[in-house]
């Protein structure tokens, strides 16, 4: 069950973007934008343009440190409400600011998953991003239960059918523009 903070901020579908290309073609599908692999000036420009449902991968912004000051700048100055990071303490700081912090976990094997979960703050306002996303469909029920929610599936989700299947497990998925167009053309997305 998603809490009120999560429902308020987290769309079911994010389109991954570097902020340099226009995002079109999602139709009536309600999506967010995950800004990643971009520079600070592009991030500022996109954030100031005011699109709703922006999330930022703090670790991939060139010219912005992925530290306390960077997290405060993104949430306070730019008003971004969802911040993804590999650093659990930064995700907790984002949550303390009343935003949604997402700890990015690279789940290539069970050892990596276990180590990441050991350092996860597991508190209200801090969720989990699993990369690559399709790994979620191979986790045991116990492993899924251990993942702090909300859960976002990220990476290697290139088909609308795969995204829909992952939304039966995760609270949100990150897809490319082409996959988003496929989702827009199909059945309604619910969670």
- Report DSSP letters for 150-164, one per residue: SEEEESS--SHHHHH
Separation between Cα atoms, residue 98 and residue 88, nearest integer Å: 16
Helical spans, DSSP H, in 10-124: 40-49, 68-72, 88-96, 110-119
* pLDDT at residue 1 in the model: 46
Torsion of the alpha carbons at 90, 17, 31 and 173, rounded to the nearest 10: -60
pTM assigned to the model: 0.92
Give the domains, in start order, of the chain with CATH numbers.
4-184 (3.20.20.70)
Bridge pairing between strands 61-62 and 38-39: parallel
Per-position pLDDT tens, the chain of length 191 = 456 656 667 999 999 999 987 766 566 677 899 999 999 999 999 999 977 789 999 999 999 999 999 999 999 999 999 999 999 999 999 999 999 999 999 998 888 788 888 889 989 999 999 999 999 999 999 999 999 999 999 999 999 999 999 999 999 999 999 999 898 876 556 55
């Amino acid at each position: 069950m998603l809490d009120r903070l999560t429902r308020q901020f987290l769309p079911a579908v994010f389109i991954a973007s570097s902020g340099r290309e226009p995002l079109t073609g999602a139709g009536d599908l309600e999506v967010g934008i995950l800004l990643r692999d971009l520079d600070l000036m592009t991030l500022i420009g996109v954030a100031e343009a005011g699109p709703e449902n922006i999330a930022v991968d703090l670790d991939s912004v060139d010219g912005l440190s992925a530290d306390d000051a960077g997290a405060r700048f993104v949430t306070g100055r730019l008003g971004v409400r969802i911040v993804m990071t590999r650093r659990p303490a930064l995700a907790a700081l984002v949550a303390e600011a009343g935003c949604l912090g997402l700890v990015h976990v690279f789940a290539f094997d069970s050892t990596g998953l276990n180590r990441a979960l050991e350092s996860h703050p597991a508190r209200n306002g801090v969720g989990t991003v699993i990369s690559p996303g399709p790994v979620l469909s191979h986790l045991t029920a116990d492993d899924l239960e251990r993942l702090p929610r909300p859960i976002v599936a990220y990476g290697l989700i290139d088909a609308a059918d795969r995204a829909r299947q992952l939304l039966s497990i995760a609270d949100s998925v990150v897809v490319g523009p082409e996959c988003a167009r496929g989702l827009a053309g199909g059945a309604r997305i619910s969670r």
